[in-house]
């Protein structure tokens, strides 16, 4: 399984040509894993059913007015592994904002997840 995205995973910058740049930012939202633990702490993972977030725009020209962009997460890679009925976002998934794909670039969490075993 690819690496799992968490609240500190960043997407990439997007631009509205000639007007605004929307910088990369961390996902910031996560689902605490009920009965899912990693190193004794609840597993924190991001998934596409979480509420959309906003990305502030930075003007590229003095007269540009940049409305915040609405950013949603999209599962493109993970279609088969679910945590608490949700497919977690993983390396290769992305966000979409202002009609632009913003691939997730890291950092990713939980490099060694053991699913349905004792962790040995």
Is 87 a member of any domain? yes
Instruction: Express each pLDDT in 99-120 by its tens digit.
Output: 899 999 989 886 666 555 544 4
Give the domain range for residue 85.
14-103
In a domain, 65, yes or no: yes
Q: Examine residue 57 and state whether it is found in any structural domain, yes or no.
A: yes
Nearest CA to 103 out of 111, 91, 88 is that of 91
pLDDT tens readout for residues 8-27: 999 999 988 878 999 999 99
pLDDT of residue 43: 78
Query: DSSP labels for 23-89?
Result: ---B----EEEEEEEETTEEEEE-BTTSPPEEE--EESSTT---PPEEEEEE-SS-SS--BTTBPBP
Q: What is the total count of domains within the chain?
A: 1
Q: Are 22 and 13 in contact (CB under 8 A)?
A: yes
* 111 falls within a domain: no
The per-residue pLDDT for range 47-82, each reduced to its tens digit, is 888 889 999 999 998 888 999 999 999 999 988 888
Per-residue pLDDT band for 37 (boundaries 50, 70, 90) equals confident
Residue 117 located in a structural domain? no
For β-strands 53-55 and 58-59, DSSP reports them as: unpaired
pTM of the prediction? 0.81
């Amino acid at each position: 399984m690819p690496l799992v995205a968490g609240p500190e995973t960043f997407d990439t910058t997007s631009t509205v040509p000639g007007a605004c740049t929307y910088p990369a930012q961390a996902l910031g939202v996560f689902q605490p894993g009920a009965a899912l633990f990693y190193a004794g702490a609840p597993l924190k993972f991001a998934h596409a059913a979480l509420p959309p977030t906003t990305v502030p725009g930075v003007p590229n020209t003095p007269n540009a007015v940049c409305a915040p962009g609405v950013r949603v997460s999209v599962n493109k890679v993970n279609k088969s592994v679910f945590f608490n009925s949700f497919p977690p976002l993983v390396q290769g998934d992305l966000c979409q904002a202002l009609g632009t794909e913003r691939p997730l670039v890291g950092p990713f969490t939980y490099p060694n997840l053991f699913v349905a075993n004792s962790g040995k």
